[in-house]
Amino acid sequence: MLKRYCISSGHGWLLPGAIGILNEVHEARRVVDRVTLELTTRGHEVVVFHDNDSTNVPDNINAIVRAHRATGSRCCDVSVHFNAFDNPQARGVETLYLRDDDEKLASRMSHAIAKAGDMPVRQPQGGATLMGAQRRGNLGFLAQLRSNPTILLEVCFVTSQRDADAYNENFEAICVAIADELEKV
């Protein structure tokens, strides 16, 4: 059955997000483009958004939300991000969500990415009960898109050498795993 997705890369060309061993905006775009190729090859429709113009965070969030809303009826809204922390030992995969209905999807997505990428799944946070899920009500992307399943992926930590190595070694498998989980929505 044909499904329709809207997938965006987090941050923007002029607001690159986290930079460490990996560059968040470059890698998020890479993941979005590869997952899109995987889903379209399987016969699904994917609308992609990469912000090339915003120069401040509020404009960036509004541009991403506008792009997702403009796609009309769709199966799922996904934004791809990468995590960062001061401690280079911090690692793992988590998926952020807001609606109660999206917690299981967030957890399944984190587990799929972690398994494909040979990385750990992070502990639940923000009131989530399932491993790999983090409930976040203060993020514009999640708070403003509430009519479809909506998740924000944190693929790995750009500040962790172990995560970066695992991500680079398993990039293809990670992208296929993301597509596989999205296809189940």
Summarize pLDDT for 1-55 with one digit per residue, the tens. Answer: 789 999 999 999 999 899 999 999 999 999 999 999 999 999 999 999 999 999 9
Distance CA 80, CA 140 (A): 14
Distance CA 18, CA 24 (A): 5
Asked if 68 and 77 touch (Cβ cutoff 8 Å), the reply is: yes
User: Which residues, in sequence order, are bridge partners of residue 151?
Assistant: 78
Highest mean pLDDT among 51-65, 67-81, 133-147: 51-65
Residue 138: the pLDDT is 87
- Who's near 59: CB < 8 A, 6+ residues apart? none
If one counts the domains in the chain, the total is 1
**How confident is residue 147, by pLDDT bands cut at 50, 70 and 90?**
confident
Q: With CA atoms as reference, report the closest residue to 120 among 153, 84, 162, 78.
A: 162
Structural domain span for residue 74: 4-183
E strands present in 110-172: 133-135, 150-157
pLDDT tens digits, one per residue of 161-179:
999 999 999 999 999 999 9
Residue 74: the pLDDT is 74
**Residue 148 in this model has a pLDDT that exceeds 90:** no
Q: What is the biggest distance separating any 2 CA atoms in the chain, rounded to whole angstroms? A: 44
Asked if 181 and 109 touch (Cβ cutoff 8 Å), the reply is: yes
Q: With CA atoms as reference, report the closest residue to 119 among 177, 78, 69, 37.
A: 177
**Residue 73 in this model has a pLDDT that exceeds 80:** no
User: Which residues, in sequence order, are bridge partners of residue 134?
Assistant: 96, 125
pLDDT tens digits, one per residue of 91-146:
999 999 999 999 999 999 999 999 999 999 999 999 999 999 999 988 888 988 87
CATH number at 99 reads 3.40.630.40
